[in-house]
Amino acid sequence: MIRFYLNRELSTMFGFKLSRWKRWSREFLPPDPLGGLQSGFARQYSLLEAFQVYLGGHLVADLKLSIPETKIILGDLQKWVTTQYFSYLPPEEPSPVQKSVKEYRIYIFMNLEPTQDARKYSYMIRRVIDQEKSHGKGTRIVTERYIENWLKDGEPATGFDKSDGVPYWMAARILYITKVYQIFTEKLQGESI
Protein backbone atom coordinates (compact mmCIF):
# COMPACT_ATOMS: atom_id res chain seq x y z
CA MET A 1 0.00 0.00 0.00
CA ILE A 2 1.30 3.45 -0.88
CA ARG A 3 1.51 5.76 2.10
CA PHE A 4 0.89 9.50 1.86
CA TYR A 5 1.89 12.07 4.44
CA LEU A 6 0.38 15.39 5.56
CA ASN A 7 2.11 18.71 6.33
CA ARG A 8 1.67 18.55 10.09
CA GLU A 9 2.82 14.93 10.23
CA LEU A 10 6.00 15.62 8.24
CA SER A 11 6.90 18.84 10.02
CA THR A 12 6.61 17.03 13.37
CA MET A 13 8.69 14.05 12.17
CA PHE A 14 11.52 16.23 10.91
CA GLY A 15 11.39 18.83 13.68
CA PHE A 16 10.53 21.84 11.51
CA LYS A 17 7.97 24.51 12.25
CA LEU A 18 4.78 23.83 10.31
CA SER A 19 4.92 27.24 8.62
CA ARG A 20 8.50 26.61 7.43
CA TRP A 21 7.60 23.18 6.03
CA LYS A 22 4.59 24.62 4.19
CA ARG A 23 6.70 27.42 2.72
CA TRP A 24 9.34 24.99 1.47
CA SER A 25 6.56 22.84 0.05
CA ARG A 26 5.11 25.77 -1.89
CA GLU A 27 8.58 26.71 -3.16
CA PHE A 28 9.95 23.30 -4.13
CA LEU A 29 6.89 21.40 -5.41
CA PRO A 30 4.43 22.16 -8.18
CA PRO A 31 0.99 23.35 -7.05
CA ASP A 32 -1.17 20.66 -5.48
CA PRO A 33 -3.79 19.60 -8.05
CA LEU A 34 -6.34 18.69 -5.35
CA GLY A 35 -5.73 21.54 -3.01
CA GLY A 36 -6.25 25.21 -3.16
CA LEU A 37 -6.59 27.90 -0.59
CA GLN A 38 -10.24 27.06 -0.01
CA SER A 39 -10.68 23.57 -1.39
CA GLY A 40 -10.78 21.88 2.01
CA PHE A 41 -8.19 19.27 1.02
CA ALA A 42 -4.85 19.07 2.81
CA ARG A 43 -1.84 18.42 0.61
CA GLN A 44 -0.73 14.80 0.59
CA TYR A 45 2.91 13.94 -0.05
CA SER A 46 4.32 10.85 -1.67
CA LEU A 47 7.67 9.65 -0.39
CA LEU A 48 9.49 11.33 -3.31
CA GLU A 49 7.71 14.66 -2.75
CA ALA A 50 8.45 14.57 0.97
CA PHE A 51 12.13 13.90 0.24
CA GLN A 52 12.26 16.69 -2.32
CA VAL A 53 10.97 19.20 0.26
CA TYR A 54 13.29 17.77 2.94
CA LEU A 55 16.31 17.98 0.61
CA GLY A 56 15.38 21.52 -0.43
CA GLY A 57 15.10 22.46 3.22
CA HIS A 58 18.56 21.00 3.86
CA LEU A 59 20.04 23.03 1.00
CA VAL A 60 18.46 26.24 2.32
CA ALA A 61 18.87 25.77 6.08
CA ASP A 62 22.17 23.90 6.29
CA LEU A 63 24.08 24.72 3.08
CA LYS A 64 22.83 28.33 3.13
CA LEU A 65 21.65 28.44 -0.48
CA SER A 66 18.88 30.81 -1.52
CA ILE A 67 15.42 29.58 -2.52
CA PRO A 68 15.97 30.39 -6.25
CA GLU A 69 19.35 28.59 -6.22
CA THR A 70 17.81 25.60 -4.46
CA LYS A 71 14.98 25.37 -7.02
CA ILE A 72 17.52 25.19 -9.86
CA ILE A 73 19.63 22.59 -8.04
CA LEU A 74 16.61 20.41 -7.17
CA GLY A 75 15.48 20.54 -10.81
CA ASP A 76 18.94 19.54 -12.03
CA LEU A 77 19.29 16.68 -9.52
CA GLN A 78 15.72 15.36 -9.66
CA LYS A 79 16.31 12.65 -12.28
CA TRP A 80 19.44 11.35 -10.52
CA VAL A 81 17.78 11.33 -7.07
CA THR A 82 14.67 9.60 -8.43
CA THR A 83 16.72 6.93 -10.20
CA GLN A 84 19.04 6.42 -7.23
CA TYR A 85 16.55 6.31 -4.36
CA PHE A 86 12.97 6.11 -5.62
CA SER A 87 13.02 3.89 -8.70
CA TYR A 88 10.19 1.38 -8.60
CA LEU A 89 11.53 -0.51 -11.59
CA PRO A 90 13.46 -3.71 -10.96
CA PRO A 91 17.12 -2.72 -10.67
CA GLU A 92 19.66 -3.77 -13.25
CA GLU A 93 22.35 -6.09 -11.98
CA PRO A 94 24.94 -3.73 -10.47
CA SER A 95 28.59 -4.06 -11.36
CA PRO A 96 31.05 -5.11 -8.64
CA VAL A 97 32.15 -1.47 -8.30
CA GLN A 98 28.54 -0.28 -7.89
CA LYS A 99 27.97 -2.91 -5.20
CA SER A 100 30.94 -1.59 -3.25
CA VAL A 101 29.73 2.05 -3.10
CA LYS A 102 29.32 3.06 0.55
CA GLU A 103 28.41 6.71 0.14
CA TYR A 104 27.40 9.23 -2.50
CA ARG A 105 28.43 12.87 -2.32
CA ILE A 106 27.35 15.53 -4.76
CA TYR A 107 29.72 18.43 -5.30
CA ILE A 108 27.75 21.46 -6.43
CA PHE A 109 30.04 23.81 -8.33
CA MET A 110 28.78 27.34 -8.72
CA ASN A 111 30.08 29.41 -11.60
CA LEU A 112 30.68 32.80 -10.02
CA GLU A 113 30.54 34.62 -13.35
CA PRO A 114 28.13 32.75 -15.62
CA THR A 115 27.64 33.97 -19.16
CA GLN A 116 24.70 33.19 -21.38
CA ASP A 117 26.62 30.27 -22.85
CA ALA A 118 27.77 28.85 -19.51
CA ARG A 119 25.66 26.99 -16.98
CA LYS A 120 25.47 28.41 -13.50
CA TYR A 121 25.90 25.03 -11.80
CA SER A 122 27.77 21.82 -12.49
CA TYR A 123 27.55 18.66 -10.42
CA MET A 124 30.12 15.99 -9.74
CA ILE A 125 29.04 12.72 -8.16
CA ARG A 126 31.63 11.13 -5.89
CA ARG A 127 31.04 7.47 -5.08
CA VAL A 128 33.11 6.48 -2.06
CA ILE A 129 34.03 2.81 -2.32
CA ASP A 130 36.56 2.49 0.48
CA GLN A 131 37.49 4.56 3.51
CA GLU A 132 40.29 3.87 5.96
CA LYS A 133 40.72 5.87 9.16
CA SER A 134 43.79 5.98 11.34
CA HIS A 135 44.87 8.16 14.23
CA GLY A 136 48.20 9.84 14.81
CA LYS A 137 49.31 12.18 17.56
CA GLY A 138 46.30 14.45 17.85
CA THR A 139 45.37 13.98 14.20
CA ARG A 140 42.99 11.81 12.32
CA ILE A 141 44.02 10.50 8.92
CA VAL A 142 41.39 9.43 6.43
CA THR A 143 42.29 7.67 3.19
CA GLU A 144 39.49 7.29 0.64
CA ARG A 145 39.10 5.52 -2.65
CA TYR A 146 36.35 6.90 -4.80
CA ILE A 147 35.02 7.25 -8.32
CA GLU A 148 34.04 10.65 -9.66
CA ASN A 149 31.95 11.50 -12.66
CA TRP A 150 30.04 14.56 -13.78
CA LEU A 151 26.26 14.42 -13.61
CA LYS A 152 26.00 15.46 -17.27
CA ASP A 153 28.40 14.70 -20.08
CA GLY A 154 30.53 17.65 -21.10
CA GLU A 155 30.70 19.14 -17.62
CA PRO A 156 32.23 21.05 -16.03
CA ALA A 157 30.55 23.79 -17.94
CA THR A 158 32.56 26.52 -19.63
CA GLY A 159 33.62 29.22 -17.26
CA PHE A 160 34.50 26.85 -14.43
CA ASP A 161 38.16 26.43 -15.32
CA LYS A 162 39.23 30.00 -14.72
CA SER A 163 42.61 31.05 -16.03
CA ASP A 164 43.12 33.78 -13.40
CA GLY A 165 44.32 31.29 -10.81
CA VAL A 166 41.04 30.84 -8.92
CA PRO A 167 40.14 27.16 -9.11
CA TYR A 168 36.52 26.28 -9.81
CA TRP A 169 36.22 24.13 -6.67
CA MET A 170 36.52 27.18 -4.42
CA ALA A 171 32.87 27.92 -5.11
CA ALA A 172 31.66 24.39 -4.32
CA ARG A 173 29.19 23.04 -1.79
CA ILE A 174 29.19 19.39 -0.80
CA LEU A 175 25.86 17.59 -0.47
CA TYR A 176 26.24 14.37 1.52
CA ILE A 177 23.20 12.87 -0.20
CA THR A 178 23.55 9.38 1.31
CA LYS A 179 23.57 10.79 4.85
CA VAL A 180 20.64 13.12 4.11
CA TYR A 181 18.63 10.18 2.73
CA GLN A 182 19.52 7.97 5.73
CA ILE A 183 18.39 10.64 8.20
CA PHE A 184 15.19 11.15 6.18
CA THR A 185 14.30 7.44 6.21
CA GLU A 186 15.26 6.98 9.88
CA LYS A 187 12.96 9.81 10.92
CA LEU A 188 10.12 8.43 8.78
CA GLN A 189 10.53 4.92 10.19
CA GLY A 190 10.95 6.18 13.75
CA GLU A 191 7.58 7.92 13.65
CA SER A 192 5.69 5.12 11.93
CA ILE A 193 6.69 2.43 14.45
pLDDT digits (tens, 9 = 90+) for 146-179: 888 888 765 665 545 544 444 555 568 999 999 9
pLDDT the model gives residue 114: 60
97 pLDDT higher than 90? no
Q: How confident is the model at residue 189 (pLDDT cuts 50, 70, 90)?
A: confident
Q: Listing from the earlier edge strand, what are the strands of the sheet with 121-135?
A: 140-150, 121-135, 103-110, 172-175
Q: How confident is the model at residue 187 (pLDDT cuts 50, 70, 90)?
A: very high
Q: How confident is the model at residue 193 (pLDDT cuts 50, 70, 90)?
A: very low
Q: How confident is the model at residue 140 (pLDDT cuts 50, 70, 90)?
A: confident
Helices (DSSP H) in the chain: which residue ranges?
Answer: 7-14, 18-28, 47-61, 67-85, 96-99, 177-192
113 pLDDT higher than 70? no
* Weakest mean pLDDT among 13-17, 114-118, 138-142, 185-189: 114-118
Instruction: For CA atoms 116, 161, 108, 62, give the dihedral sign.
Output: negative
- Say how far apart CA 47 and CA 40 lie, in whole Å: 22
Neighbours of 177 (CB within 10 A): 21
Instruction: For CA atoms 183, 54, 82, 152, give the dihedral sign.
Output: negative
pLDDT the model gives residue 161: 52
Q: In sequence order, what are the beta bridge partners of 141?
A: 134
- Say how far apart CA 50 and CA 44 lie, in whole Å: 9
pLDDT the model gives residue 120: 77
Length of the chain equals 193
pLDDT the model gives residue 55: 97
> What's the whole-model pTM score?
0.82
- Say how far apart CA 62 and CA 55 lie, in whole Å: 10
Fill in the DSSP letter of residue 81.
Answer: H
Q: How confident is the model at residue 96 (pLDDT cuts 50, 70, 90)?
A: confident
pLDDT the model gives residue 137: 82
* Weakest mean pLDDT among 8-17, 129-138, 181-190: 129-138
- Say how far apart CA 147 and CA 128 lie, in whole Å: 7
